[in-house]
Amino acid sequence: MRKLVKLIMLVFVILFVVFPCKAEGYGKYYQGLPFDIPKAVTPAIPELEVSLAEYGGIGNGMTLNTQAFAAAIADLSERGGGHLIVPEGIWLTGPIVLKSNIDLHVLKNAIVLFTPDKTQYPLLSPDEGTSGSRCQSPISAYHESNFSITGEGVFDGNGELWRPVKRFKVSNAEWNSFIKTGGTVKQDGAIWYPETSSEKLAKKRPRMVRFVRCERVLLQGVVFQNSPSFHVNFILSDNIVVDGIMVRCPWNAQNGDGIDLSSCTNALIVNCAVDAGDDAICLKSGIGDVGRRRGPCANIIIDNCTVFHGHGGFVIGSDTGGGIDRVSVRNCRFIDTDTGLRFKSKRGRGGVVSNVYVDNIMMNDIANYAIWFDSYYQEKTPEPDGIPEGGEMTDVPFMPVTDDTPCFQDIHISNITCRDAGRAMFFNGLPEMNVSNVSLTDCMIHSVAGAQVDETCGLRMENIHLDVAEGPVLSFNNSKDIEVKDLVYAGNGEQKVRVSGSRNRNIKIKGGKFCIDDVLFTPKAKKAITID
């Protein structure tokens, strides 16, 4: 009888501790959404379980386990799938290629360390996910389904052996330590490359986790750290759940993105922590014609995530060619990021970004903008050669609208609390394609500078509290059909509204303490604004 009880207890532990009920509770993230989308479906893995040690794996940090991983995955695949257990230890390995119906389960106190031997990561030909060749990823899957990576262990990409370093991002002591290891310094002294890698080779660095055209995938509980470039990258994939993972790398890790989805559908990213060297949680959809062939990134939910560093906490772009549609971001914290909410693209990339809803976000110590719409990514906003006839110096010239003109529209942001930002917000649309139909409600932002709104139409701001240290609280340039209602201003800056440009129209400020004497006009902008 005791043996039977022990057997029952063992089965219970295996089913509910080692392999938790993965789909439980995810339905709550779909409640109260402003749109109807299918729920992401989690994988169903067969009960069979094997240990990496059964295939010759040795977790001593010295033995290369590439063949052990490959043999175990091949055997499980032939047997219909199951759980590959990685026990406690340091498991040095080359690339791991996952297959359908397999759960790679990394136990607590297990570290999967990817070998520093770069010959183990061959240069692969372009596939559906890239237009150029790239070294094989440490973890990859291609056209696979129903698989997962779970547990409490750590995957370490040994990325410092791959990544270039920009001089301005490190101290003198750090820079000198890189130089002493060898490598190559760019002719202008601005970048150091590991070993003798050139700039061209640096762009072929592998992404740590790269899944192309996969479906029904779960990442849960593990740590992905120190990637050569992007950490977790899904491309053209469907039914994705990323739950409770941690992504981390040095703050200055070049191209050290956290979690990136490109032209993916039906994804749930929840309970994650990201400390990134580049964009933290980012949605993309390709560039131009390539992006349009791929299609949109759509039906995405991001909830209860914390970003400790990154170029942006939540980011869309700059690859927007296939469009971004039906996205919800709720209940997240962004700490020490360059930007809080970042929407970026530029002429030549194309795509429509719409139906994005952001709610209940806490931000602190944001170096640049709490909210940033940028249609001139990595470019300076152009200036006219001279004052256009009948215009002003701030009248940016139009370009023809094409399929490659990016469009940000129908985006709704609410309940943002931000302390210590460089600027509260910056809307920078194109004259031929304004940022349009954006609503901001119930936000409180403490910043050095106020809100700058350029080439924007249909903006609605209601119940916004801006605590601004310097300069005007609101600035408009060539913006149309703007309504600001019940804006509260505080701080040591100017209680002023600045309006410039000859293309402003129908800017209304209602319910605040502003009067027309608080408005600074340029000559062609005077008639564009009313204050009630």
pLDDT in tens, 406-438: 999 999 999 999 999 999 999 999 999 999 999
Sign of the CA dihedral with 114 first, then 116, 117, and 123 last: positive
Q: What is the pTM of this model?
A: 0.93
Q: For residue 394, what are the contacts with CB-CB under 8 A and spacing of at least 6?
A: 477, 478, 500, 501, 522
Other C-beta atoms within 10 Å of 176: how many?
A: 10
Q: For residue range 38-57, what is the model confidence (pLDDT) as tens digits? A: 999 999 999 999 999 999 99
pLDDT score for 267: 98
Residue 273 bridge partners (DSSP): 246, 306
C-alpha closest to that of 300 among 322, 276, 343, 270: 270
Residue 267 bridge partners (DSSP): 240, 300
Q: For residue range 67-111, what is the model confidence (pLDDT) as tens digits? A: 999 999 999 999 999 999 999 999 999 999 999 999 999 999 999
d(CA 340, CA 338): 7
Q: With cut-offs at 50, 70 and 90, classify the pLDDT of residue 146.
A: very high
DSSP string, 366-413: EEEEEEEEESBTTSPPP--SSPPTT--TT-PPP----TT--EEEEEEE
Q: With cut-offs at 50, 70 and 90, classify the pLDDT of residue 385.
A: low
Q: For residue range 242-264, what is the model confidence (pLDDT) as tens digits? A: 999 999 999 999 999 999 999 99
Q: For residue 498, what are the contacts with CB-CB under 8 A and spacing of at least 6?
A: 472, 474, 475, 476, 519, 520
Q: Where does residue 264 fall: left (phi above 0), alpha (psi -120 to 50 degrees), or beta otherwise?
A: beta
Amino acid at 48: L
Q: For residue 190, what are the contacts with CB-CB under 8 A and spacing of at least 6?
A: 166, 167, 168
Domain edges within the chain: 83-160+205-385+395-531, 164-204
Say which CATH topology domain 83-160+205-385+395-531 has. Pectate Lyase C-like (2.160.20)
Q: Where does residue 65 fall: left (phi above 0), alpha (psi -120 to 50 degrees), or beta otherwise?
A: alpha
Q: For residue 467, what are the contacts with CB-CB under 8 A and spacing of at least 6?
A: 444, 445, 446, 447, 489, 490, 491
Q: For residue range 491-503, what is the model confidence (pLDDT) as tens digits? A: 888 878 999 999 9
Lowest mean pLDDT among 62-66, 176-180, 459-463: 176-180
Asked if 332 and 385 count as a contact pair (C-beta separation under 8 A), the reply is no
DSSP string, 68-122: HHHHHHHHHHHTT-EEEEE-SEEEEES-EE--TTEEEEE-TTEEEEE-S-GGGSP
What's the first-to-final CA gap in the chain, in angstroms? 82
Q: With cut-offs at 50, 70 and 90, classify the pLDDT of residue 186.
A: confident
Where do we find the tokens 């300076």?
380
d(CA 202, CA 118): 12
pLDDT score for 350: 97
* Residue 282: exposure state from Cβ atoms within 10 A (0-12, 13-18, ≥19): buried
Sign of the CA dihedral with 227 first, then 228, 229, and 234 last: negative
Higher pLDDT, 384 or 310: 310
pLDDT score for 132: 84
d(CA 351, CA 508): 30
d(CA 110, CA 22): 21
- Mean residue pLDDT of the chain comes to 92
pLDDT score for 367: 98
pLDDT score for 202: 79
Q: With cut-offs at 50, 70 and 90, classify the pLDDT of residue 24.
A: low
